Structure 1
Amino acid sequence: MIQFLPIPHLIIISYVVWILYRILKHKTIKVNLPPGSFGWPILGESLSLLRAGLDGVPERFDQERVEKYRSCQVFKTSLFGNRVAVLCGPAGNKFLFGNEDKLVAVWWPYSLRKLFGKCLVTSRGEEAKWMRKMMLSYLGPDAFATRYAATMDVVTRRHIQVHWRGS
């Protein structure tokens, strides 16, 4: 007579096999990653970042990791469910902004893209260039001098007359 395993046992065995497969697959791929920790699954090190921000010292998150990983200006971590590499210092900023659209692509987590929608912050590539060009016509120095300066002058004078001079 054939006996079958109960469904909970099958689920547990399947899960264990899946975890072992992921571990073995991960070990066979050798990637040159910077030092760091991904922290807890899903949460990563997000709580540490949020705690530093709530304490009013958000840079503490970066400083602690730079000190921990022997003054390395690049470290890996996991924030808000996404694995990221953090570049610190002037050299990191120069590399990041000097290689935009060449070696580095702007990327936003899904949660931020959902929160901001389609805007200048979350767009990239040709779309971002087009949006910047459109914004420049409204916010550029020429637009300020020709459109907004006179209106701002009138509003400011009226405000000073009504609220500061008492008339």
Structure 2
Amino acid sequence: MKKIIINELEIRLVRYNRKYLPAIVTLFNSTIQRVNSKDYSQAELNEWLQKNPDLDSWHEKLTTSDCLVAIKEETLVGFGNITSEGYLDLFYISYTMIHQGVGRFIFNELEKYAVLEKAKSIYTDASITAVPFFTKMGLEVMRKQDNQRNGENLVNYRMIKKLVVR
């Protein structure tokens, strides 16, 4: 599909395939544990982590949306998915690749998909940690949201970016 060079290494963007699913869930969990730990307590992280993931449910979510996977030297280093309506559901980058352009690369391609699908906006429910990134991508905070899970409050923010529909 598409590729970029970061620190002399090629990063390829490919469409989701079920063969990537175990690596996606592993990346999801490691990013939460290593990156989001600066903004959430361990008890909150424990409610967020996928200890026993329903792989069929994950697969359905990723195949019923546009899901892109970033690969560096055959290792999955990021992924994101967006619906045709513009909902950016999952967006995770390996802690080893943060602030290196992988997130921007994935986001820009997902935004192109949303525009092609004539979505009026891109919207997401961003973690505290992700708000600065999505702000740089042009999204604005609409509201703070409280998500109660087994007595833990996982705060996130509804963010939106209006798109120009042609």
> TM-score, normalising length from structure 2?
0.24
Q: When you count helix as a share of all residues, which structure comes out higher?
A: 1
Which of the two has higher C-alpha Rg?
A: 1
